[in-house]
Amino acid sequence: MNLEQKIIEIVEHQWSKVSTDDLPVDLGEILYQNYSDKIEIDFPSPKTENSWRLKSKGCIGFIALSSSFALRLSPKIKVDKLFQMLEYVYGFEIQVEDKLELIYCDAIESFYERLACLLSCQILERVKKGLYRAYIEQVEDLSVIRGHINARSFLRNPWNLKISCSYQKYTGNIVDNKILAWALHLIKQSGLCDQSRLSILKAYKALCEVVELSPCSSEACINRTYNRLNDDYRRLHALCRFFIDSSSASLKQGEYAMVSFLVDMDRLFEMFVASWLKKNLPEKYDLREQDELYIAPDMKPSRIDIVIYDEEGKEYCVLDTKYKTKFERDDLYQIDSYASRKNCNEAILVYPVLPDNCPKALFPNQNIQVRILVFSLDSDLEEAGKQFRSALFKS
């Protein structure tokens, strides 16, 4: 991060007024073209007193629009709570002496850099021990026979002096290591890690000696197979998944492409509630995330945030998470519709705080009980989770 960079801070779901001196029109237009889906933007006009009006649509992170200007999208919650949510969702449990120093950061970019430093240091430790390697199928035209001859290829091209062979190659150029290299590449491009730059570059170069850099999706980090030789990759891949998930589109600035760091808090809250419940669910219940609901044969299915099933496989309740402080009537009708189509009598709207405008009665359908529950992010998350679970199961 450039120390001379002008950084303007906005807090999620709150309007911020920014002068045209702080945010020039050309950079405002770049912001609108690339991030209008993440940030609500009112252009300077007499109505806005010739200033920009910006509001994050539930995203937090850091956007560098140039080498001299950046936006910090700060969370409403404390960074230590954000860290705990990410631990649950991504499954990386940090076991280091400076964990408290790691999670108690004031600025979101400092939090990003400390996690990036942690990842690079753990990768360097693994490089010292030796990167995990495996046998992969290799097909190559060779001057001498190796492995098996591809007979079909040979018969089609009998005049070819080289023979097409398939053989097993023991290599470190495998997906396990490509995930690490791609995550470090995104971190390196972000420009957010000045203090840890040397450590990140060292880890990245060590990987690139073994691995061909190629894009990896966050899905590649999930449901991988681990054994006693690569079990430590489980935590590395969880950290990589966070960085891949939170890396937004890059902006070209001269010869450099800067990758923005953005976390969708709406989605994170949904995933956190589901992850906490999955870990703390009573034994006789089962939980499914993003459960598909088919409304019509020719329509794409709707997806319900969370559906809980009882021991007989019957729907116990449907849950819809709402990371906001305002109650909207449409949310009530939506969750009621989900419950109706699932033949479920319980429908739950889950908020991080009790909405101020919450109505006293929630009965759009007499056959379905709709409730509003709170999973508080302001207090201790484990205690808040226990209170939420007790209210959910009425225990």
What CATH number has the domain bearing residue 323?
3.40.1350.10
At 252 the pLDDT is: 59
113 and 155 in a single domain? The answer is no
For residue 372, the SS3 value is: strand
Q: Are strands 369-374 and 346-351 parallel, antiparallel or unpaired?
A: parallel
- Which residues does the chain have with pLDDT short of 50? 254-255
Distance CA 18, CA 28 (A): 10
Per the domain annotation, does 273 fall within a domain?
Answer: no
Per the domain annotation, does 272 fall within a domain?
Answer: no
CA 146 to chain centroid, in Å, comes to 43
Domain boundary among 263, 295, 315: 263
Distance CA 336, CA 293 (A): 13
12 and 126 in a single domain? The answer is no
Total count of domains within the chain: 4
Distance CA 281, CA 289 (A): 13
Per the domain annotation, does 377 fall within a domain?
Answer: yes
Range of the domain at 189: 77-133+172-263
At 140 the pLDDT is: 80
At 329 the pLDDT is: 86
At 141 the pLDDT is: 82
At 109 the pLDDT is: 85
254 and 301 in a single domain? The answer is no
Residue 211 near residue 173 (C-beta atoms within 8 A): yes
Q: Model's pTM, two decimal places?
A: 0.84
Domain boundary among 263, 298, 321: 263
The string of DSSP codes covering 296-333 is STTSPPEEEEEEEE-TTS-EEEEEEE--SSS--HHHHH
312 and 322 in a single domain? The answer is yes
153 and 213 in a single domain? The answer is no
At 280 the pLDDT is: 94
Distance CA 57, CA 40 (A): 7
230 and 129 in a single domain? The answer is yes
Count other Cβ atoms within 10 Å, centred on residue 280. 12
At 343 the pLDDT is: 87
255 and 167 in a single domain? The answer is no
